[in-house]
Chain A
Amino acid sequence: MMPSRMLIFAVWVLSALAVTGCTNTREGVSVLSVGKTLIDSRRSQREPTREIPDAVVQREIRRALNSSDGPFALMRIEGTGSVAVLRVIETNGPYSTWSAWGTSERRSVSTRGGVITSTRGLGTDLMSSSVNGLLGMLSRREDGITKQVLRHLDGENQIEETEAYCAFTPDQRQAYQAGALALQVTRVDVFCKTDTGTFDNYYLVSDSGRIVESRTWLGEGLGYFVLSHLR
């Protein structure tokens, strides 16, 4: 008796949820798209990170730099292996919003002082961050502790704040070369602790105080992003 009953029940749930076949309204989400989402999420769990050859990346960087005089940056998402050359699409005071160069794909990250403060369109987005203390600490390149706040949406679309206490440790000086930039920088290692875990960021800061590269943890879902400025 059991298996057939169970099957009917499963079908009942699925059919009850899959409400529309096709429609001319914006409301419509079809049965197929529900299935596709589930399959996609399964697949993304299995998919290994992609390796993009450095030669391809360097060629894209050169093409981007030749296309305009504006600022460019290279973003690597450690979890997925994705790499993108970004350009600034809008600025708001100290904040810049970046999007992939050469496409009209609507995904973006925003930065302040060269550090990612929010993302949009990437899933489990970082909605906003408080990085005042962090930027002050990096500009002085000193030892010390400061608080950083990351804000995400929780499962009920409420803003969930993650407070991290971060310890800053300036490390050795090194050479930085990326795109049109070649300069001496100081590496600052940052170890952060939250209620539930820890993460390790680093920043490369030039002598004039500009953050030219950062590896920052953006939350459970997004993981680590490396942003390298190219100009």
Chain B
Amino acid sequence: MIRIPTRVLITLGLLGLPGLAVADNLKTRTTNNYGTPGGLIDMPTAESAPDGELTTNVTYFDGFFRATLSFQITDRLSGSFRYAGTEDLTPSFSTYYDRSFDLRFRLFDETDFTPAVSIGLRDFVGTGILSGEYVVATKSIGDRLRVTGGLGFGRLGSYGSDGSIGSRAPFSFAGVGTGGQFNIDDWFQGDYALFGGASYQVTDKLLLSAEYSSDNYDIAQSAGILKRSIPWNFAATYQVSENTSLRAFALHGEEFGAALTFNLNPRSPSIKGGTELAPLPVAVRGPRSAEDLGWTTQPGREKAITASLDSSLEQSDLDFEGITLSGRSAHVRIRNEKYDATSQALGRTLRSMSRELPASVEMLHVTLIENGIPASTMSLSRTDLERLEHRPAREALAAAQFTDTLRFGDYPEPLPGNYPRFEWSIGPYLRTSLFDPGDPLRGDIGIRAKGKYHLGSGWIVSGSLGQKVIGNLDSAVKPNNSQLPRVRSDVALYNRTDEPFLENLTVAKYGRLGPDFYSRVTAGYLERMYAGISGEVLWKPVNSRLALGAEVNYTHPRDFDQQFGLRSRVTPGGTIPEFNGHVSAYYDFGNGFHGQIDAGRYLAGDWGGTITIDREFANGWKIGAFATFTDVSASQFGEGSFDKGLRFTVPLSWLVGKPTKQKASGVLRPLTRDGGQRLEVDGRLYETIRGSHRPEVAKSWGKYWR
């Protein structure tokens, strides 16, 4: 037992040390039956998930199926994407499938005496079968009880209406049309009703909920597939493991159902800081040793230094490409194919330099090479490196300088042996087709071989060959009724091949047009549907969060078998034009959000723009949404009205707890039509060089000394 003198205890008390309790603004990891954060059943609450939380919820009760992905976009704002299926809702379909988006914003935080208040839109784009808006307040009473009351419109105002504001177009299957419209005129209009409920945390694992529901399930009741005896719903939610919960619920005294929720937070990797082995420590020079320049006159010394630095960098899995060495400075060029946190590659390179370079070398420069071109140079004095090794990481960031490599007159040439270089990989691939009403989940699994031949100075020949092994993508028989040139909607025809297919085969040349300017020309079989030539220029200063780019493509559609042939540009919906291209602006807001605007001509010849917003986590996770608006009218576009979707990037390092630049990316589109479609070409400039520039390196600077 440790004795602590009373004097010390009193002082600790006087310091006003923070205790354990911190206001959490009604955080919850539970979701309701619509998959949005909250402890009730069908009704919303003013609770929020922890910042960045991703939840997947699957709810099922007799004939009703909902799968919802929710994301806590900021501390206050959350968004959801839902795919719902209802059996026998309408005679037209055996199961009626519907996609919907929700948004919710916490207006006021909870205080000691006032509740948290949120405002929300349910199913606010699209056909509106679930549409409802609400204002809701939740207050915690003690640690375990949370009480909620709210006012709902639309479906949430359909039972026990307390009044009405304005008018609201009723939902009808006939009015579904193209969907995808924002029904702004209907928001917070029509009948409204009060709803409410309470949830009680019985134990750490068990949550009980009860609610009074203002949703009358009008359409389901009139279709005779659901009865509503009482307005009350009840649920018990059990936390099976840290990230999984299971719920059983009773609806309206008639239906029983179950729900499963998976939680995941991009901010919680498998192992914080990673499990990779220790870096080499900085070797500190002896006093006055820096004055000795004798080594510069020793024959063969430079060659020996180059060799030892090469093997030291090899220990850290870094590729040493070249060096220029003088009495007082050294400039090294490296390729980092391992560390997703660029700062870690830089930190390890500099420490190797401190161990291998003669003591007189004071200025250290490291150039990062991407696709054969210099992407940036970081400089640090050796004295600072020695002085800051055991200091907080931010001090080393303040001492580091980032410069465009072209501003150095004599950056190092590649050493022999680096080029030409061949890289290959073989692995499985998976291709999916989601939300087809015939079968909402289809996929192909196959094997894919990739090769890349680096010829030097930015010349790269690369190709990817695939072979389907098993899958059912070819069984899609959705009739194509597109009124536009069929630039993407013929995907089913591309999925039919059982032969080996060439995903791409290109020759690319990356270059530097001058300081801050980057260029790319790619020619060949650019992607599975198009061959042609793609040219791009990017302006991006190394310390800037803004980048501007322009891209022009000449494209020709490829044969459906994806071998070497091309097919006619003429399609039933019109002729596929020869040229497309965009000007783009990229901006890193610096607060975890990244924006991109592209404007130009799309594949089908339509003109317009795409806006993309991503929440970017410093560990590499990205979750974003995009929407494209072009001069194609909603009726011409067809179902969905305009192109939109969600996109994800998951860094593999997050999962395995070791550095790797490998990541899994995906795009989730409710529908793919022909309007607003862009060419998919590999190795666009912005993503190629961005990771080497200061704003991106600084984000994960904590790994510099790791």
How distant is the Cα of A21 from the Cα of B283 in the complex, in angstroms?
39
Min CB distance B88 to A, Å, is 14
Residue contact B706 to A12, C-beta cutoff 8 Å: no
With contacts A15-B445, A128-B391, A155-B619 known, is A22 near B427, CB below 8 A? yes
Report chain A residues within 8 Å CB of B426. 20-23
Residue contact B390 to A112, C-beta cutoff 8 Å: yes
Closest A residue to B269 using CB positions? A155
Contact of B341 among A99, A112, A157 (CB under 8 A): A157
Report chain B residues within 8 Å CB of A167. 4-5, 8-9, 11-12
Residue contact B392 to A159, C-beta cutoff 8 Å: yes
Min CB distance B43 to A, Å, is 24
User: Cβ of A26 < 8 Å from any Cβ of B?
Assistant: yes
Closest A residue to B450 using CB positions? A23
Which of A46-54, A61-69, A191-199, A223-231 makes up part of the contact surface? Answer: A191-199
1/0 contact trace for A73-104 toward B, CB 8 Å? 00000000000000001111101010100000
User: Cβ of A56 < 8 Å from any Cβ of B?
Assistant: no
How distant is the Cα of A128 from the Cα of B617 in the complex, in angstroms?
23
Contact of A92 among B9, B269, B278, B281 (CB under 8 A): B281
Min CB distance B701 to A, Å, is 8
Contact of A37 among B267, B317, B656 (CB under 8 A): B656
Min CB distance A112 to B, Å, is 7
User: Cβ of B337 < 8 Å from any Cβ of A?
Assistant: yes
1/0 contact trace for A137-172 toward B, CB 8 Å? 000000111000001111111110000010111010
User: Which residue, of B58, B267, B705, has the highest number of chain A Cβ atoms within 10 A?
Assistant: B705
Q: Which residues of B, 611-666, contact A by the 8 Å Cβ criterion?
A: 617-619, 650, 652, 655-658, 660-662, 664, 666
Contact of B271 among A120, A124, A151 (CB under 8 A): A124
User: Cβ of A207 < 8 Å from any Cβ of B?
Assistant: no
Give the number of chain B interface residues (Cβ < 8 Å): 82
How distant is the Cα of A37 from the Cα of B654 in the complex, in angstroms?
11
User: Cβ of B303 < 8 Å from any Cβ of A?
Assistant: no
User: Cβ of A55 < 8 Å from any Cβ of B?
Assistant: no
With contacts A22-B427, A117-B390, A156-B267 known, is A17 near B655, CB below 8 A? yes
Residue contact B660 to A27, C-beta cutoff 8 Å: yes
User: Cβ of A180 < 8 Å from any Cβ of B?
Assistant: no
User: Cβ of B288 < 8 Å from any Cβ of A?
Assistant: no
Closest B residue to A193 using CB positions? B17
1/0 contact trace for B446-462 toward A, CB 8 Å? 00000000000000000
User: Cβ of B608 < 8 Å from any Cβ of A?
Assistant: no
1/0 contact trace for B2-16 toward A, CB 8 Å? 111101110110010
With contacts A120-B278, A169-B8 known, is A92 near B390, CB below 8 A? yes
With contacts A15-B445, A23-B425 known, is A156 near B664, CB below 8 A? no
Report chain A residues within 8 Å CB of B267. 154-156
Min CB distance B213 to A, Å, is 24
Residue contact A155 to B268, C-beta cutoff 8 Å: yes
Report chain A residues within 8 Å CB of B269. 155
Min CB distance A147 to B, Å, is 10
Min CB distance B238 to A, Å, is 18
Q: Which residues of B, 107-156, contact A by the 8 Å Cβ criterion?
A: none
Closest B residue to A41 using CB positions? B270
User: Which residue, of B655, B660, B662, has the highest number of chain A Cβ atoms within 10 A?
Assistant: B662
Contact of A156 among B271, B283, B319, B700 (CB under 8 A): B700
Report chain A residues within 8 Å CB of B58. 2, 6
User: Cβ of A125 < 8 Å from any Cβ of B?
Assistant: yes
Residue contact A157 to B428, C-beta cutoff 8 Å: no
With contacts A153-B273, A169-B8 known, is A12 near B702, CB below 8 A? no
Report chain A residues within 8 Å CB of B478. none
Report chain B residues within 8 Å CB of A2. 58, 60
Report chain B residues within 8 Å CB of A118. 390
Min CB distance B293 to A, Å, is 24
1/0 contact trace for A185-224 toward B, CB 8 Å? 0000101010110001000000000000000000001000
Residue contact B5 to A169, C-beta cutoff 8 Å: yes
User: Cβ of A175 < 8 Å from any Cβ of B?
Assistant: no
Q: Which residues of A, 1-57, contact B by the 8 Å Cβ criterion?
A: 1-2, 5-6, 8-9, 12, 15-29, 31, 33-34, 37-38, 41
Residue contact B657 to A28, C-beta cutoff 8 Å: no
User: Cβ of B477 < 8 Å from any Cβ of A?
Assistant: no
User: Cβ of B165 < 8 Å from any Cβ of A?
Assistant: no
Residue contact B424 to A24, C-beta cutoff 8 Å: yes
Residue contact B619 to A157, C-beta cutoff 8 Å: yes
Residue contact A92 to B386, C-beta cutoff 8 Å: yes
User: Cβ of B253 < 8 Å from any Cβ of A?
Assistant: no
How distant is the Cα of A127 from the Cα of B652 in the complex, in angstroms?
23
Closest A residue to B393 using CB positions? A159
How distant is the Cα of A171 from the Cα of B319 in the complex, in angstroms?
54
With contacts A2-B58, A152-B272 known, is A90 near B281, CB below 8 A? yes
User: Cβ of B275 < 8 Å from any Cβ of A?
Assistant: yes
Residue contact A127 to B337, C-beta cutoff 8 Å: no
With contacts A157-B341, A165-B15 known, is A90 near B8, CB below 8 A? no
Residue contact A27 to B661, C-beta cutoff 8 Å: yes
Min CB distance B684 to A, Å, is 18
Residue contact B3 to A189, C-beta cutoff 8 Å: yes
Q: Which residues of B, 57-83, contact A by the 8 Å Cβ criterion?
A: 58, 60, 65
Residue contact B652 to A158, C-beta cutoff 8 Å: no
User: Cβ of B223 < 8 Å from any Cβ of A?
Assistant: no
User: Cβ of B443 < 8 Å from any Cβ of A?
Assistant: yes
User: Cβ of B184 < 8 Å from any Cβ of A?
Assistant: no
User: Cβ of A121 < 8 Å from any Cβ of B?
Assistant: yes
Closest A residue to B653 using CB positions? A29
How distant is the Cα of A31 from the Cα of B58 in the complex, in angstroms?
27
Residue contact A159 to B394, C-beta cutoff 8 Å: yes
With contacts A118-B390, A156-B700 known, is A221 near B658, CB below 8 A? no
How distant is the Cα of A99 from the Cα of B664 in the complex, in angstroms?
36
Residue contact A143 to B277, C-beta cutoff 8 Å: no
How distant is the Cα of A19 from the Cα of B18 in the complex, in angstroms?
46
Contact of A108 among B60, B272, B275, B281 (CB under 8 A): B281
Residue contact B427 to A165, C-beta cutoff 8 Å: no
User: Cβ of A107 < 8 Å from any Cβ of B?
Assistant: yes
Residue contact A156 to B619, C-beta cutoff 8 Å: yes
Report chain B residues within 8 Å CB of A59. none
Min CB distance B487 to A, Å, is 25
**What are 12 sample pairs from A and B whose C-beta atoms fall under 8 A apart?**
A12-B430, A16-B430, A22-B426, A24-B424, A24-B425, A110-B390, A127-B273, A143-B5, A145-B8, A153-B273, A159-B702, A167-B5
Binding site for B on A (CB under 8 A): 1-2, 5-6, 8-9, 12, 15-29, 31, 33-34, 37-38, 41, 89-93, 95, 97, 99, 105-108, 110, 112, 117-118, 120-121, 123-125, 127-128, 143-145, 151-159, 165, 167-169, 171, 189, 191, 193, 195-196, 200, 221
Please name the 6 residue pairs, one residue from A and one from B, whose CB atoms are nearest each other, closest first.
A23-B425, A120-B278, A121-B278, A106-B277, A153-B273, A21-B427
Q: Knowing that A16-B430, A159-B393, A168-B8 are A-B contacts, what are 15 other residue pairs whose CB atoms are under 8 Å apart, sorted by A's residue number?
A: A2-B58, A8-B443, A23-B425, A23-B427, A24-B422, A31-B428, A92-B386, A110-B281, A125-B273, A125-B706, A153-B702, A154-B267, A154-B702, A167-B9, A221-B271
